[in-house]
Structure 1
C-alpha cells in the first residue's frame, strides 16, 4: 500500500505540473474558449437566480422546450453568482487533491490488471475503469470550471452505474483475464 500511496502522490505532482504547463504556458483553453462581445454578467444574474447548472431552454414543458430548442439558442450555463478569486490557493489544493485521487484510482487499476480474476473481479475492474474516467473528468470540472457539484455528481453516478452495467455484461463474455508477462 505504501508504494501505491507514494507512487500516486508523485504521479499527482507530475500531473499537477503538467496542468500548469497546459493551462498557463501553452494556453490551450484560451485558444478554444469563446468570449462575449460585452459584459453579460448583469443579464446572467437576472436570468439565473442561484448557483448551479442550467439548461436553456428550460425543460419544464417538453413540447414548448422542443420548439424552443429547434429555434435556438441552446445552452448549458454553469453559474457561480458571487464570483471567485483567480488562482485561489484553495483552488490549487483542491486541484492537486483531485489529481491525487485520480492517480490513486489509476494505481489501483494498475495493480489489478495483472491479476487472474473471476466474474466479480472482472465486473469490479470495468467498474473501476468507469469510475476513474468519471472521477477524472466530472470532479475536475467542479474545481477548474466551476460547474455545480450536484450536476457533476449526478453525471459521475450515471457513468459509474453505467460501468457496472457494462461490466456485468462484459464479464460474462470476456473470461480470459489480462495477465502480465514478467521479464
Structure 2
C-alpha cells in the first residue's frame, strides 16, 4: 500500500471516529434501545454474591449446563433452557466486578485503532477494484459498512434478543460512519489507479 492509501485510511478512520462522537453526543442514536437498570443496588448485590470477582459474559437461564458438558448434556440443557425461558427471565450479561476501572482516554484510543483497522481494510479492498468514479467508491465503502453492520447486529438481535431499536440504531450509525469515511477515502484516492 502506498502512503496515499495509508492517508486515506487514517482520514477515513478519523471520519468514522468523529461521526461516532457526533452520533453519541448530539443524536438519540447512541442511547437508542438502552434503558437504565431499575433497582441497580439490589441487582448489583445479587450479582456480586453469585458471580463474585469473575469478569465475563454470562447467559441465563442455563438449563443446568455444567462447564465440561458433553454434546448430549449440552443438547439436554438446551431443551431445559427453552422450557425455563417460558417461566423465567433470560438474558446476556457482560459483567465486571466491583473495583474495575474505566480508562476513558485509553478506550477512545482503542476505538480509534479499531476504526483505523476498519478503514485500512476497506481501503485495501477498494484498491483491488476497478472502480474509478467518486460515487462508485463511496458506494463500495458504504455497502461494506452495511455488510459489517448487518453481519454482527442482526445476528445479535436474532440469537440474543438485542432489541430492535438498539439494532436498527447501531446499523444506522455504522452505515453512516462508513458513508462519511467513503466520502473522505474517495476524495483522497481520486485519480488514483494504484493497487494496494
Normalising by the residue count of structure 1, what TM-score does the alignment of the two structures yield?
A: 0.58
Higher relative contact order (CA closer than 8 Å, sequence separation 6+): 2
Equivalence map 1:24-173=2 (5 Å): 24-39=25-40, 40-49=43-52, 50-59=54-63, 60=65, 61-81=77-97, 82-85=99-102, 88-114=104-130, 133=148
Listed as ranges, the gaps of 5+ residues in structure 1 are 116-128, 139-181
Q: How does 1:17-28 map to 2 (within 5 A)?
A: 17-28=18-29
Aligned to 1:143: none
Q: What are structure 2's unaligned runs of at least 5 residues?
A: 66-76, 132-143, 154-192
Tell me the residue number matched to 1:9.
10
Query: 1:137 offset after TM fit, Å?
Result: 5.4
When the two chains are superposed, the root-mean-square deviation of aligned CA atoms in Å is: 2.8
- CA drift of 1:54 comes to 1.0
Q: Structure 1 pair 137/10, CA: closer, same or farther in 2 (3 Å)?
A: farther
Deviating more after overlay: 34-43 vs 18-27: 34-43
4+ runs deviating over 6 angstroms: none
1:108-138: CA deviations, max 9, x gaps? 11112329xxxxxxxxxxxxx79x838x959
Number of corresponding residues: 123
Instruction: Name the CA distance, whole Å, in 2 between partners of 1:62 and 1:137.
Output: 23
* d(CA) in 1 for partners of 2:95, 2:18: 27
**What's the TM-score, normalizing by structure 2?**
0.54
Shift of 1:44: 2.0
